[in-house]
Amino acid sequence: MIIAVYQGPSPEGNIKNALARVNTTLAKAASKDVDMVVFPELFFPGYNQMQRHAAMAQEQGGSWETQFAELAKEHGCGLTIGWAERDDESIYNSASAFDRTGKKLAHYRKIQLWGTTERTTFEFGNHYSTFSLVGVKTGLLICYDVEFPQHVRALAQMGVQLILVPTANPEKFGHVCTTLVPARASENALTIAYANYCGNDNGLSFCGQSTIVGPDAQSLVSASPDEEKLLIADLTSINNINTALLSTQLADFRKVFTK
């Protein structure tokens, strides 16, 4: 399987530009036979557009998802992307995944909302979402979710081998990309694709450093803090990892009960 993560600037509420970015990125990825491209968190309409999210949020099956599916089908390349979802009066920080035929594979609502602004804008998600991608059991998390060992462990216990993570990780939090994401991958012997923004959005600067990390905690590909880039990794290379070096924590963990 070949997967990719797109790191780039926020569309800052410009949906026309956002769609154009998805279109050109999928075209480029398709030329490399990529199976799935992961875009950042709330790419529609942009992460730090909190004043716009409620007004612009769409329901599942609306024009945004319709266009995501059409672009995936047109280019023959899967797409996972974050967007602001409306469900009646509730707004969610969500992500959807589509395969290369445009079929919707999964939908996920962020469980761990970060900070006061997110918590006053969005409702909490309450369910994990998994699906098969080219025969590999795959899960979705969004940004802060992946920093919790409990959530990654829960997906691993469900048999997930690959986690796709749209994110909007701010400047000064680069340790998440370089330390926490590799740790989560290593602890559970799985692969994590982590897609962040670069540049800034409405006064918020991002740390970039998007990455795809294998089950041995080694980065297969990574970006610098400030470059727009499509990172591509052939996951068949993981087959060459010495399995004796992979974590066996899932099998070895012992619960200790205190009186």
Mapped onto helix, strand or coil, the DSSP state of residue 83 is strand
Question: Cα-flanking dihedrals φ and ψ of residue 161, to 5°?
Answer: -110, -15
241 burial via Cβ count (<10 Å: 0-12, 13-18, 19+): middle
Contact (CB, 8 A) for 118 and 143:
no
For this structure, is 70 an active site residue?
no
Burial of 128 (0-12, 13-18, 19+ CB in 10 A): middle
How big is the CA angle at 25 (ends 97 and 231), to the nearest 5 degrees? Answer: 85
55-74 burial, b if ≥16 CB within 10 A, otherwise e?
Answer: ebbbeeeeebbebbbebbbe
Catalytic: 41? yes
Q: Cis omega (within 30 of 0) on the bond before 45?
A: yes
The residues near 124 (Cβ < 8 Å, ≥ 6 apart) are 109, 110, 111, 113
Catalytic residue among 65, 85, 118, 143: 143
Residue type, 172: K
Residue 255 annotated in active site? no
CA dist 52 and 58 (Å) reads 12
| CA max distance for the chain | 60
- Catalytically annotated residue among 85, 110, 147, 207: 110
Active site (catalytic) residues: 41, 110, 143
